[in-house]
Amino acid sequence: MHHLLVINTGGTIGMKPSDRGLVPAPNFLEHYCHTHLFQTIVGLTVSWFEWSPLIDSSQIHPHQWNKIAQVIADQIDQHDSVLIIHGTDTLAYTASALSFMLKGLHKPVIITGSMRSIQESNSDGPSNLKLALSTCLSRKHVGVWVCFHHGIFPGSHVTKIDAVGAQAFSAPIPSDYADLHFPLSTDPVDIQWIDAEKCAIDVFTFYPGCTLDSLGYMSTNNSRAIILRSFGSGNVPESGELTHHLRTALAAGKIVVNLSQCLASSVDMERYQAGGHLLKLGVVSAYTMTFEATLTKLMVLLSQNADHDIVVRKFGETWGYEMPQPQK
């Protein structure tokens, strides 16, 4: 027997055309899955939770991650695995958020969706659903994983790379997750809630010739953290103005994180002088993390009322399938 919990949040996979463009269609995907997928598997029972209304995932808000986490925590003991159906636009954010929010997962939580509605003849939905379902049934992938276009990606290290093609997701390095530690537990699932009120985060992207006015604003506003999108392995153009804004932000108790603009990156602020000055100021490395993981890990930590040093320490620790930062 396998007891599967399905949480259908919406997304293209279950959408139908309307005079306003594609919109989610209630009960449509559930009917498809029961008639084309589930009935062929002996011993499978399915609990289907469908959001009302179903959403285009571009509309998702962090309070809805809490809602998903709550259903999983409430239902996991009665089920062997969880399948989440999600729109692709923010799927990587939800996967990252759940990876950091759900501690003590000892069963698979698999997320999928598709680029084309299941009703289209060339839809990638059926193959994505089959891969996701077989990953649930095999129980080999414990924790949060994304199944998409023949790939199985760790929820904490996946990003959307294509807005049209079927190969829409990637896990840009680290390429070998085999040796990474994933904390297994038989304790009840512990949820780290996200409180959106407590985790306003700014993002500043460097480009050649950029002015720093908006960074100046970020250094004094009410946000709790600033993510700097740097070049290459964590380098930025040095200036007295930059140092001033970063000192102001850090003195105000903000966490400032250095995240590379490169998709496959590994921030190393000791490699070049152009990164070293950030390290000296107290900027924290995002190392190999994706933008989605950096953002959601910060959200989880900032929601916990921990003080600055604890957030910095825990941000550098490995949770689930993440590359451990080198100890210096």
Tell me: does residue 14 bind ligand ASP (CB under 6 A): no
Q: Cβ 31 to ligand ASP, closest distance in Å?
A: 19
Q: Cβ 149 to ligand ASP, closest distance in Å?
A: 12
List 4, 11, 258, 300, residue binding ligand ASP (CB under 6 A)? 11
Is residue 164 packed enough to be buried (19+ CB in 10 Å), middle (13-18) or exposed (0-12)?
exposed
Position closest to ligand ASP via CB: 87
Q: In one letter, which amino acid is 218?
A: M
Q: x/- site string to ligand ASP, residues 217 to 256, per CB under 6 A?
A: ----------------------------------------
Tell me: does residue 12 bind ligand ASP (CB under 6 A): yes
Distance in angstroms (rounded) separating the CA atoms of residues 2 and 266: 40
* Catalytic residue (one of 9, 12, 94, 288): 12
Tell me: does residue 57 bind ligand ASP (CB under 6 A): yes
Residue 16, number of CB atoms within 10 A of its CB: 12
Q: Give, as ranges, the residues between 265 and 324 that touch ligand ASP (CB under 6 A).
A: none
Distance in angstroms (rounded) separating the CA atoms of residues 212 and 99: 34
Tell me the helices (H) and strands (E) count for the chain, helix number first: 9, 16
Q: Which is nearer to ligand ASP, 98 or 255 (CB)?
A: 98
Residue 293, number of CB atoms within 10 A of its CB: 28
Structure tokens at 16: 């139908």
Q: Which residues pair with 159 in a beta bridge?
A: 170
List 115, 129, 226, 300, residue binding ligand ASP (CB under 6 A)? 115
Using the rule CB under 6 A, give the single segment among 6-14, 77-85, 256-264, 277-285 that binds ligand ASP.
Answer: 6-14
Tell me: does residue 87 bind ligand ASP (CB under 6 A): yes
Q: Which is nearer to ligand ASP, 126 or 316 (CB)?
A: 126
R_g of the chain, CA atoms, integer Å: 21
12 is catalytic: yes
Tell me: does residue 50 bind ligand ASP (CB under 6 A): no
Tell me: does residue 125 bind ligand ASP (CB under 6 A): no
Q: Cβ 167 to ligand ASP, closest distance in Å?
A: 13
Alpha carbon 303 to its chain's center: 16
Rounded to 5°, angle at Cα 143 from 142 and 146: 100
Count the residues of the shown chain that bind ligand ASP, applying the rule CB under 6 A: 11
b/e map of 130-140 (b: 16 or more CB within 10 Å)?
ebbbebbbeee
Sign for the CA dihedral angle at 214, 219, 220, 225 comes to: positive
Catalytically active residues, by annotation: 12
Q: What residues make contact with ligand ASP under the rule CB under 6 A?
A: 10-12, 56-58, 87-89, 113, 115
